[in-house]
Structure 1
Amino acid sequence: MKPLYDAAVAAGEREVVVYNPNTSANTPIFAAFSARFPTIKVVGVDLFGAKLTSRLEAEAASGQAAGDIVYTTSNDMPEYADKGFLASYAPETTAGLDEKFVGTNRMWFDWTLTVSGPFYNKSYVKPADAPKSWRELADRKWNKQISISTLQSVSGTGQALTALTIAGKLDRAWFEGLAANHPIVSQANAQAIQAVASGQATLGLDVPYHFFKAAAKKGAPFEFIFPEEGVISIPLNEAILAKAPHPNAAKLFATWLFSAEAQALLADIGMQGTMPDAPKVAGAPQGLVFNVMDWRTLISKYPAQLEMYKQVFAN
């Protein structure tokens, strides 16, 4: 990575702009990179789904690119590649990465898997009373007590739950049961999590484990549930934008994400690296089951799942 760092310094590249779903949750990752390469600051910009697509389209149309790296889920990546938004760059550190984590023409690479599950506010729910499985969340005793982010538009939660459905661990009847429990619906997962923290809801459908661990350290009254069916998980990827204003810093950041240092950091903060020798998630039970799909399966299966969500949660 030293030649990339030297090239960035020589070119006067003092920052790398990363379009990502949640800068706050990714602060430990960004801070570790800047500590390793002190002249380069990571500037996180919260963008996901339609807002991210609109930003990339606007930058392409104007010819004035601001972003260097796009870090998101795989749902939109083929479209971004087709529209010429992405550069093809294969970091040397991805050697040995399973091909299921590699995008079209090597334009994006999955560097981590989320570890997500239900959670509860322990000020209102006793551990003995908390659900132990996804199935239990449809129980009528949780009527009007569950906080969820909307599933009717593209979301990480909706994509991840697709894996559970394909695996036969959930079905339409379960989603209908969840809807019948009159969940408190927010437009974003951060808002859904906050509803549990404030006591507006006692249970939450989905919190990333790394977000939970960070919040718990700050005193949030949360408890994470590792469901019997396993956690839901989506691959998160990185790609360098075709007209990145800081191309050397972008290549360095992409390369570092797959390094042993970064992959170990992921495990420590509650995420799972994708490299074959990546450490297991710290604090997770032995034999943790990941319900996760490769991007090709996600692209083919999620649209129908999204239509089902729209029907079930229409009211």
Structure 2
Amino acid sequence: MKHAITYVAGLVPAFLLAAGLAGAAEMTAGEKQLYDAAKKEGSVTWYVSQTTTEFADGMCGLFKAKYAGVGCNVVRASGQVIFQRLVQELQAKAVQGDLMSTNDDGQMLQLKEQGALAQFAPENLKDMVPELRALADKENYWITSGVSPLVIAYNTKLVTEAEAPKNWTDLADPKWKGQVAIGHPSFSGSVGLWTILMNDLYGWDFFTKIEKNKPQIGRSVADGHNLVASGERKVALAPLPLILSDSILKKVPIGVIYPTDGALLPPSATAIMKDAPHPNAARLFENFLLGPEIAEYFAKDYRYPLRAGVPLAEGMRPLNSYKTKSIATADGIKKLPEVQEKFRDTFGI
């Protein structure tokens, strides 16, 4: 059995710290140039909804270990909160975040059309998994920085695998009344895309039926996962990496169902702001996101590594082994406001 490594928020295991320092001598010329410029800027500020705070802090810890002298500040919130904060900064002409990572690439398209993003092609793009690289902006205004399929989670102490929902429409079964948890499309980018997908597949009647089961509605897509893990709810919409890492690494009583009608595959995207206060540090960090350290860090936490040749964690299914669905970027932008309004009307929240 492979041994897992536990990362404490903001800290990095000693052997990785040593490896990072050793790696400094192996930088490419372009990377060294960015590093020298980033040290003069001092730090990078990263707005992120793509991961949990703890996981993002771990990523920053790895960055600081490799690039001594460059700080890394995480500002983590739900997708819509991060996006609105950035929009307000742009309107005030006082951008504070250097780069942003989100599960809603539609936000990136909006920022690109506003001229708010910097064009940058990191060196490490050449080593990406081709299918994941293809999900990014063709003009290099944002990169793919993760894929986190949305699936169904269930509490294994309260529900057997046979009893668990097998597809999304099963969540409307009256037997789950008071036992379902979902996120809110007005706060979470990935939940927004999932709401669009459900409406495309089944019409708004899907949510009318779900409402009758009185679901617990959180802001982040991670909220449902946490409620199932604690036993407060039996089933939930949740990100696959959180379920797998909790169940396998932490022995939390939570299981995964890959819905037969398709797991949502929302590509996470990262972009650098055109008016980033620390532009060189931002470019260095974006390139680092596609490097070997983050690919291995992802794999150890049951996330899909972005770099080709990095093996999946033991027990993790390849993306092509189950049905997935995605929403085109333009469709997400067009349809999101309508489903957000309908959601508020239906659930009163």
TM range, normalised to the smaller chain? 0.7 to 0.9
- 1:142-184 alpha-carbon deviations (Å, 9 max, x no partner): 1111112224555312313434554x4x443332221111112
Q: Supply the distance in 2 between the matched residues of 1:120 and 1:193 (Cα, whole angstroms).
A: 9
How far did residue 279 of structure 1 move? 5.2
Q: Name 1:223's counterpart in structure 2.
A: 255
Does the CA contact (< 8 Å) of 2:302 and 2:312 recur in 1? no
Q: Supply the distance in 1 between the matched residues of 2:310 and 2:169 (Cα, whole angstroms).
A: 30
Q: What amino acid maps onto 1:133 in structure 2? A: N
Instruction: Say which is worse superposed, 94-103 or 245-254, in terms of deviation.
Output: 94-103
Residue 235 (str. 1) matches residue 267 (str. 2): yes
Q: Supply the distance in 1 between the matched residues of 2:136 and 2:161 (Cα, whole angstroms).
A: 40
How far did residue 300 of structure 1 move? 3.4
Q: Name 2:148's counterpart in structure 1.
A: 114
Q: How many pairs align?
A: 312
Q: Supply the distance in 2 between the matched residues of 1:14 and 1:142 (Cα, whole angstroms).
A: 51
Q: 1:215 to 1:43 in 2, by over 3 A?
A: farther
Q: 1:233 to 1:27 in 2, by over 3 A?
A: farther
Does the CA contact (< 8 Å) of 2:195 and 2:339 recur in 1? no
Q: Taking every aligned residue pair, what percent have the same amino acid on both sides?
A: 24
- SS of 2:228's partner is helix
Q: Supply the distance in 2 between the matched residues of 1:108 and 1:160 (Cα, whole angstroms).
A: 22
Q: What amino acid maps onto 2:254 in structure 1? A: F
Does the CA contact (< 8 Å) of 1:88 and 1:105 recur in 2? yes
- SS of 2:40's partner is coil
Q: What amino acid maps onto 2:73 in structure 1? A: V
Instruction: Say which is worse superposed, 237-246 or 80-89, in terms of deviation.
Output: 80-89
Matches within 5 A, 1:129-148: 129-148=163-182
Q: Name 1:20's counterpart in structure 2.
A: 48
Residue 78 (str. 1) matches residue 109 (str. 2): yes
TM-score by length of 2: 0.76
Match of 1:246 among 245, 255, 278: 278
Q: What amino acid maps onto 2:121 in structure 1? A: A
Give the aligned CA root-mean-square deviation in angstroms.
Answer: 3.1
Instruction: Say which is worse superposed, 94-103 or 123-132, in terms of deviation.
Output: 94-103
Q: Name 1:298's counterpart in structure 2.
A: 332
Q: Supply the distance in 2 between the matched residues of 1:25 and 1:290 (Cα, whole angstroms).
A: 25
Q: Supply the distance in 2 between the matched residues of 1:138 and 1:202 (Cα, whole angstroms).
A: 13
Does the CA contact (< 8 Å) of 1:272 and 1:279 recur in 2? no
Q: 1:214 to 1:16 in 2, by over 3 A?
A: farther
Q: Name 1:149's counterpart in structure 2.
A: 183
Which residues of structure 2 form unaligned runs of 5+? 1-26
Match of 1:102 among 129, 132, 136: 136
Q: Name 2:81's counterpart in structure 1.
A: 51
Does the CA contact (< 8 Å) of 2:225 and 2:239 recur in 1? no
Q: Supply the distance in 1 between the matched residues of 2:137 and 2:119 (Cα, whole angstroms).
A: 10
The runs of 4+ residues in structure 1 deviating greater than 4 Å are: 61-64, 95-100, 273-282
Q: Supply the distance in 1 between the matched residues of 2:307 and 2:197 (Cα, whole angstroms).
A: 21
Residue 179 (str. 1) matches residue 211 (str. 2): yes
How far did residue 214 of structure 1 move? 3.8
How far did residue 255 of structure 1 move? 1.5
Q: Name 1:87's counterpart in structure 2.
A: 118
Q: What amino acid maps onto 1:208 in structure 2? A: P
Q: Name 1:203's counterpart in structure 2.
A: 235
Q: 1:187 to 1:89 in 2, by over 3 A?
A: same
Q: 1:155 to 1:111 in 2, by over 3 A?
A: closer
- 1:129-151 alpha-carbon deviations (Å, 9 max, x no partner): 22222232111111111112224
Match of 1:9 among 20, 31, 36: 36
Q: What amino acid maps onto 2:34 in structure 1? A: A
Instruction: Say which is worse superposed, 128-137 or 156-165, in terms of deviation.
Output: 156-165
